[in-house]
Structure 1
Amino acid sequence: MTDEELQQWIENVSLEHFGIPFRHRAFFNGRLRSTGGRYALRSHHIEINPHQLEAHGLEAVEGIIKHELCHYHLHIAGRGYRHRDADFKLLLAKVGGSRFCQALPDKAKRTLPFKYKLICCACGMEYKRKRRMDASRYRCGRCAGKLRLEEFKEA
Structure 2
Amino acid sequence: MSVLNEKDLYQLVDNLSREFFHKPFTDDVRFNNRLRTTGGRYLPAKRKIELNPKYVMEMDEEEFIGIIKHELCHYHLHIEGKGYKHGDETFKKLLKETGSPRHCNPLPSVKRSYKYVYVCSECGREYKRARRVDMKRFRCGRCRGKLRLQSDS
- Quote how far apart the aligned CAs of 1:6 are: 0.6
Asked whether 1:68 is paired with 2:62, we answer no
Asked whether 1:44 is paired with 2:38, we answer no
AA aligned opposite 1:30: N
AA aligned opposite 1:103: P
Cα 1:25–1:47 shift into 2, 3 Å: same
Asked whether 1:97 is paired with 2:108, we answer no
Runs of 4+ in 1 over 2 A off after TM superposition: 111-114, 139-142
TM-score normalised by length of structure 2: 0.72
Aligned with residue 107 of structure 1, among 102, 106, 110: 110
Q: What are the within-5 Å matches in structure 2 for residues 125-140 of structure 1?
A: none
More helix by share: 1
Q: Which runs of 5+ in 1 are unaligned?
A: 115-127, 131-138, 143-153
AA aligned opposite 1:44: R
AA aligned opposite 1:17: F
Number of aligned pairs?
A: 123
Asked whether 1:18 is paired with 2:26, we answer no
Which residue is equivalent to 2:142?
none
C-alpha separation between the residues in 1 aligned to 2:114 and 2:92? 35
Asked whether 1:54 is paired with 2:57, we answer yes
C-alpha separation between the residues in 1 aligned to 2:55 and 2:115? 26
Q: Deviations over 1:47-82 (max 9, x none)?
A: 111111111121111100000000000011010101
Larger Rg: 1
**RMSD of aligned Cα (Å):** 2.4
Asked whether 1:32 is paired with 2:35, we answer yes
C-alpha separation between the residues in 2 aligned to 1:74 and 1:20? 12
Taking only the aligned residue pairs, the percentage that are identical comes to 43
TM-score normalised by length of structure 1: 0.71
